[in-house]
Amino acid sequence: MIIVLRLSHRPGRDERTSTHCGLVARALGADEIIYSGEEDSNMIENIKETAQRWGGKFSVSYEKSPRKAIEKYKRKRFLVVHLTMYGLPIQKQIRKIRKNKKVLVIVGSEKVPGEIYQMADMNIGVSNQPHSEVAALAVFLHEYFKGKELDKKFPKAKIKIVPQKVGKKVVEKG
């Protein structure tokens, strides 16, 4: 089980990036995303609607306190992995991470408080260069699942893309 915790969402500023974190989490194999920061019911409903239309099981929720969310999942014996450019290289740590079937993946927003670094079991760098949290999440999930997430099936999808060499083909079920 992979759960993503998106830190410090700010409506009006982070909507696109936070939405993309949710879409990437869903598409690349995570089971759930939790948002902290300011509550944004519109963004959460948009992601829920996307998950419903495009199929598969995926949950979206809000937790005001990231600390409470981290503590909750630590009690449930999740490995807490914080994605940060300051962390240890993913390519040297991913085997250790994969040994855990329950992972809480933390992705930041604005400046991440120091306590998050302390609470995490592992601070992991997808790159030690400035980059997007969406990209870090995508690379992390790709590495964790060894690329198998790209073949993931989404049961009960109302919309499906039929891959084409040229053009677009979309099949919609009533």
Residue 87 one-letter amino acid:
G
Has this prediction a pTM greater than 0.85?
yes
pLDDT tens digit sequence for 67-89 = 999 999 999 999 999 999 999 99
Q: Where are the beta strands (DSSP E) in 23-63?
A: 32-37, 59-62
Other CB atoms within a 10 A radius of the CB of residue 24 amount to: 22
Overall domain count for the chain: 1
Nearest to 35 by CA among 125, 123, 117, 108: 108
CATH number of the domain bearing residue 100? 3.40.1280.10
Per-residue pLDDT of the chain (174 residues), as tens digits, is 999 999 988 888 888 999 999 999 999 999 999 999 989 999 999 999 999 999 999 999 999 999 999 999 999 999 999 999 999 999 999 999 999 999 999 999 878 999 999 999 999 999 989 899 999 999 999 999 999 999 999 999 999 999 999 999 999 987
pLDDT value, residue 14? 84
Determine contact, residues 65/54, Cβ cutoff 8 Å. no
pLDDT value, residue 58? 97
DSSP element (H, E) containing 4: strand 2-9
Which residue range forms the structural domain that includes residue 72? 2-172
